[in-house]
Structure 1
Amino acid sequence: MSLALADIRKDYSRQELSPEDCASDPISQFEKWLQEAMSAEVPEPTAMNVATVGADGRPSSRIVLLKGVENGQFQFYTNYSSRKGQQIDHLPFVSITFFWPELERQVRIEGKIEKLAEATSDQYFASRPYASRVGAWASEQSTEISSKSVLVTRAAEFGLKYLTHVPRPPHWGGYGVTPDRVEFWQGRPSRLHDRVVYLLADQAWNKVRLAP
């Protein structure tokens, strides 16, 4: 069967966007758009693509969930020993993308990434469901396993070890991304999309319109 991918088209026309419409800083503008995505009941509004670069210079990306926007940082949690964690150790800069097709919107964030304070990671870890906490111990993320039963067995073992209180594994915790470039994209008819980018210079945000 031939897929006529080149014929797939959608014209965007829901809303407009201009620098004058945007907040003075990108964090406030992002929080406004995220709230609108949540109010519109967009599926997985906090899902974001996080792109990293490995020691071999090759990019890698995956979807994770945003868990906080605090102190000017976009925060998420993962296994520090995972492939993404190793790549972050190599190069502590990432690119994040949110896409809310129902609102015809996209947000692109670039910046430096660092581990969150251990107390912050402890607090979030304690809020997770019991099975998720046990799973953080059971999964040696990104390593090869011979079968699914290996993972199930490890989960059962750690479940018996931590029947009630599950401490945070030392290899698991949070990251915070401090942005220096944030772009807001609003789909428009005839591919004449609205793009507003915030650029950080001398600790001040400047916003400009970009050609689509």
Structure 2
Amino acid sequence: MTDDPIKLFDRWYAEAQVSEPNDANAMALATVDAEARPSVRMVLLKGHGPEGFVFYTNQRSRKATDIAGNPNVALLLHWKSLRRQVRIEGAVETVSDDLADAYFASRHPFSQLGAWASDQSAPLPDRETFEARFAEAQARFAGGDIPRPPHWSGYRLSPTRIEFWQDREFRLHERRLFTRVDGGWQDGLLYP
């Protein structure tokens, strides 16, 4: 057993990428708004390592607005095929422009255009409005590179708690919790 939660995450994530039928990188992101009302949605893990866990979004979205008011969030990755989940808690900060630019450039051009066309989380009167905005973005950037919109970036969660949960028969689950203490990790078990 490793005493490094990032190495353990690497191992579990590699196994999930082989066994999960869809989106092993899908994770639930929980935030709270200014009135402490919780909100949760699925996002995609796009990078991870000792520095943290990275996802990208429109910075005008509800999740980004929540984060601006309270950077403390929680992530949950659930891999049904492995009967495992990982819970991660900590504060997020915006990634560097260079990192956001590099990831944006790696996206499919339609995903890039969608970032320009969408006012994510805002009311949409009808699908045709979005499709017209998408067509406008296609015309605007026809034949050229599509730059990252100024309102689109990534966030990195710096973990303070990481819990590894393994399903066991009769609900006698195995839970291992790592807590950040003085720059290192303290670990222990939790009752099921």
Task: Report the TM-score, using the length of structure 1 for normalisation.
Answer: 0.88
- 2: CA distance, partners of 1:77 / 1:132: 12
Q: 1:42 to 1:28 in 2, by over 3 A?
A: farther
Question: 2:138 and 2:50 mapped to 1: Cα distance?
Answer: 35
Partner amino acid for 1:95? A
The answer (yes or no) to whether the contact 2:77–2:87 under 8 Å persists in 1 is yes
Structure 1 residue 148 corresponds to structure 2 residue 127: yes
Contact kept in structure 2, 1:27 and 1:72, CA below 8 Å: no
Find the structure with the greater CA-based Rg: 1
Cα contact 1:42–1:100 (8 A) shared by 2: no
Unaligned runs of 5+ in 2: none
Q: How far apart are 1:177 and its partner, in Å?
A: 0.4
TM-score (norm 2): 0.97
The total of aligned residue pairs comes to: 191
Of 31, 47, 55 in structure 1, the residue corresponding to residue 10 of structure 2 is 31
1:75-120 residue CA offsets vs partner (Å, 9 max, x unmatched): 0100011000000000001100011111110100000100000010
Residue 103 of structure 1: aligned partner: 82
CA distance in structure 2 between the partners assigned to 1:70 and 1:190 by the alignment: 34
Q: Which residue of 2 aligns with 1:183?
A: 163
Q: Write the distance in 2 (CA, Å) between the matches of 1:180 and 1:206.
A: 10
Q: Which residue of 1 aligns with 2:100?
A: 121
Deviates more, 1:70-79 or 1:96-105: 70-79
CA contact (8 A) 2:6 2:50 kept: no
* Corresponding residue of 1:52: 31
The Cα of 1:145 is off from its aligned counterpart by: 1.5
2:22 counterpart SS class: coil
What displacement does 1:43 show?
2.3
Partner of 1:91: 70
TM-align CA RMSD: 0.9
Report whether the alignment pairs 1:169 with 2:149: yes
In structure 1, the gaps of 5 or more residues are 1-20
Say if 2:175 is the partner of 1:195. Answer: yes
* Contact 2:6/2:49 (<8 A) preserved: no
Residues 19-47 of structure 1: CA deviation (Å, up to 9, x unaligned): xx2x2211111011000111224421100
What percentage of residue pairs aligned between the two structures are identical?
44
Cα deviation, 1:153-172, whole Å, max 9, x if unaligned, reads: 00000110011211100000
Q: Does 1:204 align with 2:166?
A: no
Runs of 4+ in 1 over 6 A off after TM superposition: none
Q: State how far apart, in whole Å, the 2-side matches of 1:143 and 1:171 are.
A: 14
Distance 2:19 2:36 in 1: 39
Separation of aligned partners in 2, 1:36 and 1:144 = 39
SS of match in other structure, 1:155: helix
SS at match of 1:64: strand
C-alpha separation in 1, matches of 2:167 and 2:42: 22
Partner amino acid, structure 2, of 1:207: D
1:9 matched to which residue of 2? none
Q: Which residue of 2 aligns with 1:68?
A: 47
**Given the alignment of the two structures, is residue 77 of structure 1 paired with residue 56 of structure 2, yes or no?**
yes
The answer on whether the counterparts of 2:20 and 2:79 sit within 8 Å (CA) in structure 1 is no
| 2:162 partner amino acid | V
Partner of 1:61, secondary structure, is strand
